[in-house]
Amino acid sequence: MRLRDLAGVDSDSEVTGFAIDHRKVAPGSVFGAFKGEVFNGEDFIPIAVDRGAVAVVARPEAAVTRVPHLADDKPRRRFADLAAKFYAPYPETVVAVTGTNGKTSTVEMTRQIWRMSGHRSASIGTLGVTTSDDQVKTGLTTPDIVTFLNNVAGLKRMGISHVAYEASSHGLDQHRAEGVPLAAAAFTNFSRDHLDYHETMEAYFEAKMRLFEELLPAGKPAVVWTDDAKSEEVIERAKRAGHEVLTVGRRGETIRLVEQVPTPLGQTLMLEHGERPYRLALPLIGAYQAANVLTAAGLALATAGKWDAVFSAMQRVAPVRGRLERAVITSAGAPIYIDYAHTADALDAAIGALRPHVEGRLITVFGAGGDRDQGKRPEMGAVATRMSDIVIVTDDNPRSEDPAEIRAAILAGAPGALEVGGRREAIAEAVRRARAGDIVLVAGKGHETGQIVGDRVLPFDDALVAREVAA
């Protein structure tokens, strides 16, 4: 594709690709020079041009010579728009899910429901790119725009027709999930997280609203979980943006959740759809999993799914890695569950999900990530101690912070909690204390297979460690 045809500038240069890292620029690349939290891409414009960039997308005040300067006050958005044209075409049906918690499970369950309904489907998010045949890590919930568009276009070439992806607040704010035509979008819930980046809850929420007010074309359906404090505002703003709104939950009109009853291996849901009652045997433990599967079902219906096929698929969804995943049962008979919960709200949901299944005590092991929102740490401690019988505070991903200081911040809100710095030792201590009838929850890292300490990533998989110490 010529630059003239792509960007409307007077240049016959052939565009071969896009890059936001100057080290990945090749002859024919369009280089995106953006100001980041650590580096300013504008500083690398001369190097990118030397390496063969045929154009640079940057702010109007950036210094660009020798190649066309595609200037824009919002260069990330301009870069995304151009890249989207270059990498097209994409799968026919693409949906996006935003919210604080539940995005990973919802996109993966949407993929599963589609697959069981006869579609070749994929999900993109925290777990990477997942199809029925493979899973490839991408490193971020919403990868950079070049990786994202390349992945989605690659799925089209593989014959995938349906894709569900996680739209994180970072990704939405930084225009990392643009350009792919959306058939529908969904909202799960909203609670405190990522204030180290967004600074205020208002800014955090507005980043998520971009999905409905800027990315989702008018007239396309928005699926909203009704039972969150922000749900009414999301519904109102989605309608104002011209979307058909499909609601699911206890106040849902598309799918109404009438009753939830926990069972030994999952839960029974009483639902209403089309004014008819349905009894769903959901093979997933955890009340919040009902929210995830109903939101996924809403997306399936929003993309021309038939209720009978969707309902049948809901009864067969499989657990998602690191989301209330039962890793092992100890020799004493206590199951150990692994969950990605790393906010106060998510801890509340995970512990609350397990509580109905506890005959004895609930033992919670968790920490908090370094270089992230510090204000949530005592809140997490307070939730854990209020809802658990035994709390063990340990290290998560301390990154560049002093792990002891992170633990101290959590313990300030967790009176009576135990402190065990080493994560392996903390899990082992929980196993040592667990008896028959108890349940152990190891929260915070979920599917992750590494622990970030300083600038190193050390091998650490909560599920694997749990099995090793329980042996």
Task: Detail the residues annotated as belonging to a binding site for ATP.
Answer: 99-105
Instruction: Determine contact, residues 80/178, Cβ cutoff 8 Å.
Output: yes
Beta bridge partners of 185: 96, 222
Helix (H, G, I), strand (E, B) or coil at 313: helix
Q: What DSSP line would sit under 235-291, residue for residue?
A: HHHHHHTT--EEEEETT-SSEEEEEEEEETTEEEEEEEETTEEEEEEE---SHHHHH
Instruction: Determine contact, residues 238/222, Cβ cutoff 8 Å.
Output: yes
Helix (H, G, I), strand (E, B) or coil at 19: strand
Instruction: Determine contact, residues 210/169, Cβ cutoff 8 Å.
Output: no
Give CA angle at 280 (275, 285), nearest 5°.
Answer: 135
Instruction: Give the position of tokens 């996006």.
Output: 96
Residue 429's Cβ-side half-sphere holds a number of Cα atoms within 13 Å equal to 19
Instruction: Give the position of tokens 């929003």.
Output: 302
Nearest-angstrom CA–CA distance, 271 and 283 = 15
Rounded (10°) angle between helices 145-157 and 75-87 = 20
Nearest-angstrom CA–CA distance, 448 and 437 = 28
Where is the binding site for meso-2,6-diaminopimelate, in residues?
372, 396-399, 444, 448
The single-letter code of the amino acid at 138 is T
Helix (H, G, I), strand (E, B) or coil at 329: strand
Where is the binding site, in residues?
99-105, 141-142, 168, 174, 176, 372, 396-399, 444, 448
* Encoded tokens for 416: 């009576």
